[in-house]
Amino acid sequence: MFGRLFGAKTPILESLPEVRGKYIENAKLAKHTWFGVGGPAEVLFLPEDADDLKAFMMRKPEGIPVTVIGGGSNLLIRDGGIPGVVVKLDTPAFKQITFNGTEVTVGAGLKNSDLKKALVDNGVGGLEFICSVPGRIGGLLRTNAGCFGRTVSDVFVKAHILNDWGNVYETTAEDFNFSYRSSLFPDDWIVLDATFKGEKAAPEEIKKIMDEHSEYRRSHQPINQKTAGSTFKNPDGLQAWKLIKEAGCAGMKVGGAEVSPMHCNFLINRGKATAADIEELGEAIIEKVKAKTAITLEWEVRRMGVKK
């Protein structure tokens, strides 16, 4: 089925295989990111299920780039948009949750926060921090996401991934070589699901921990604004927000982008920022911190697409 919601048919769309899901031309990606900025996808593909995605990957023409996005919580899409096909796993088939004792297997398209009720209902603890990480399950592995003293690598068991040729593999932690906020995640891999190891816990204790995590974020981070979470990784043994503040970057602005007054490691879109504003502000912070400390901050936010 061809769902043409934006613009007329383009040559790239005519070259793509028939699918059961939906193709959307010139799809506005800004609404798919927490920053609320960015240009369009040449074609956005919403596969119906894993078999639909596998068939697409096997039959797509060579030379057409494929980019996967999740919930857009840790993503900056540039104003020129993304050429080729952008894949988003957004149907119920990619949001399933199954339990095997204290192990839980979760579809890559599920919002992390939507795992809360299932964990409480099944009395599985130790995974509360995942529910507090913005975004979706599939995005956790690439960045080895974490918070409140735990990371995905601490609880990861295995994942099923699909590669650029349409082959499905079961992977383990050794395949990812996890490190702080990163992994050796190949660009042509698409996570289909991930399995995590929890521990038996009382539902009321699980809920208490989740509530404490939520309250901490509400009181320390600008969660109700257009932001992508922590902008820069913490250098070894240091805190990025402190380096940013001590370099005099608090309150810095570029166009509609601004350093959050609540947390210096969060950049926010005041409503009319462009992706260029946000990226320019981030690069200016890197330069100021480097000039003062000789430390080069590294982006935690994933940047992609073409500059306008």
Domain ranges of the chain: 11-92, 95-205, 222-304
Q: Please, what CATH class does the domain formed by 11-92 belong to?
A: alpha beta
Q: What is the mean pLDDT of residues 187-212?
A: 95
In 198-264, DSSP assigns E strands to 199-200, 226-230, 253-254, 257-259
Band of residue 4 on the pLDDT scale cut at 50, 70, 90: very low
Share of the chain above pLDDT 90, in %: 82
Looking at the predicted structure, is the pLDDT value of residue 8 above 70? no
Backbone phi, then psi, for 170, in 5-degree steps?
A: -95, 125
Looking at the predicted structure, is the pLDDT value of residue 2 above 50? no
Catalytic residue list contains 170: no
Maximum Cα interatomic distance, the chain, rounded to a whole number of Å:
56
Q: Provide the sign of the torsion angle of the four alpha carbons 246, 284, 185, 110, taken in this order.
A: positive
- Higher-pLDDT residue of 126 and 133 is 126
Looking at the predicted structure, is the pLDDT value of residue 7 above 50? no
CATH 3.30.465.10 fits 95-205, yes or no: yes
Say what the alpha-carbon torsion angle 142, 145, 150, 156 is, to the nearest 10 degrees: -30
pLDDT at 182: 78
Catalytic residue list contains 230: yes
Looking at the predicted structure, is the pLDDT value of residue 3 above 60? no
Catalytic residue list contains 287: no
Lowest mean pLDDT among 15-29, 218-232, 233-247: 218-232
Angle among Cα 155, 121, 127 to the nearest 5 degrees reads: 15
Lowest mean pLDDT among 4-18, 68-82, 171-185, 282-296: 4-18
Catalytic-labelled residue, pool 142, 181, 260, 279: 181
Band of residue 6 on the pLDDT scale cut at 50, 70, 90: very low
Catalytic-labelled residue, pool 183, 230, 260, 279: 230
- Cβ neighbours around 13 below 10 Å, total: 17
Band of residue 10 on the pLDDT scale cut at 50, 70, 90: low
- Cβ neighbours around 260 below 10 Å, total: 18
Lowest mean pLDDT among 34-38, 136-140, 181-185: 181-185
Which distant-in-sequence residues (6+ apart) come within 8 Å of 32 by Cβ?
69, 72, 88
CATH number of the domain at 222-304, please?
A: 3.90.78.10
Band of residue 134 on the pLDDT scale cut at 50, 70, 90: confident
Q: Report the mean per-residue pLDDT for the chain.
A: 93
In the chain, DSSP assigns E strands to 22-28, 40-46, 66-69, 75-77, 82-88, 97-100, 103-107, 124-125, 146-147, 150-151, 156-162, 168-171, 190-197, 199-200, 226-230, 253-254, 257-259, 266-269, 302-304
Share of the chain above pLDDT 70, in %: 97
pLDDT at 200: 98
